[in-house]
Amino acid sequence: MSRSQVEAMSVDEASYTAFVREVQDRVRHGLTAGFGVEIGRDAAEEALVYAWKNWDRVFQMKNPAGYVFRVGHRMAQKMAKKERATFALPDPQEVSNPIEIEPGLPAALEHLSARQRMVVVLVCGFGLSQRETAGLLGISRTSVQQHLERGLRHLRSELGVVTDD
C-alpha cells in the first residue's frame, strides 16, 4: 500500500487496516484449523467484516482479536451445523502450489479435536504464546497447555515423530 493510499484513508479505515493486518492470521488460521478451509475462511471473513461494521465499538475493546475470533467461531459453528459439514483438510499435493510436507500431516491433524487443532496450529505453526492463544480462544492458559500437549502427542504418535523428551 502506497503512502498516498494510506493518507487517503480515514482514521477508522487506517486503524481497521492495521488491526486486520495484525490479527487476521490468527483469526483465519484458528478458524480454518477448527472448521476446515471453506467454513473457517468464510467465518473469518465475515467476522472481520462484522468488526468493520462495528468498528467504533470493537476498536475500544480490550481484546478485539478475541472478540472477533469468538464471533467467527460462533458463525462457523452455525455454518457447520447447517451444512452438516465434516471436517477435512485438502491434500497438500492438490493445492494451487503443491508443497512438500509430510503427506500424512493433514490426516493426522484431522484426527485431533477441533480445540487441539486450533491450539497446535496457532502455537506451533504460528508462534503464538499460550497466553495469547488463551486470550484468542477465550479459554484458560492451562487448557491451552493441555490441548497442546495432547494434540502434539497424538500428532507425533500418528506421524511417527521421535522427540527427545
Q: Which residues bind another protein (CB under 8 A)?
A: 13, 16-17, 20-21, 24-25, 28-29, 32-33, 37, 40-42, 44-46, 48-50, 52-54, 67, 70-71, 73-75, 77-79, 82, 89-90, 92, 95-97, 99-102, 105-106, 109, 111, 113-116, 120-121, 124-126, 138-140, 142-143, 146, 150, 155-156, 159, 161
Closest distance to another protein from the beta carbon of 64 (Å): 13
In the bound state with another protein, the residue whose beta carbon lies nearer, of 78 and 131, is 78
Distance CA 120, CA 133 (A): 10
Closest distance to another protein from the beta carbon of 100 (Å): 7
Closest distance to another protein from the beta carbon of 121 (Å): 6
Distance CA 1, CA 49 (A): 20
Closest distance to another protein from the beta carbon of 40 (Å): 7
Closest distance to another protein from the beta carbon of 136 (Å): 14
- What nine digits make up the cell of 82? 447447517
In the bound state with another protein, the residue whose beta carbon lies nearer, of 59 and 89, is 89
Residue found under cell 487441539: 116
Distance CA 165, CA 157 (A): 13
Residue found under cell 462484522: 50
In the bound state with another protein, the residue whose beta carbon lies nearer, of 29 and 65, is 29
Distances (CA, A) of 97 to 94, 105, 138, 156: 8, 17, 34, 26
Q: Name the packing angle between helices 64-83 and 11-35 (round to 10°).
A: 50
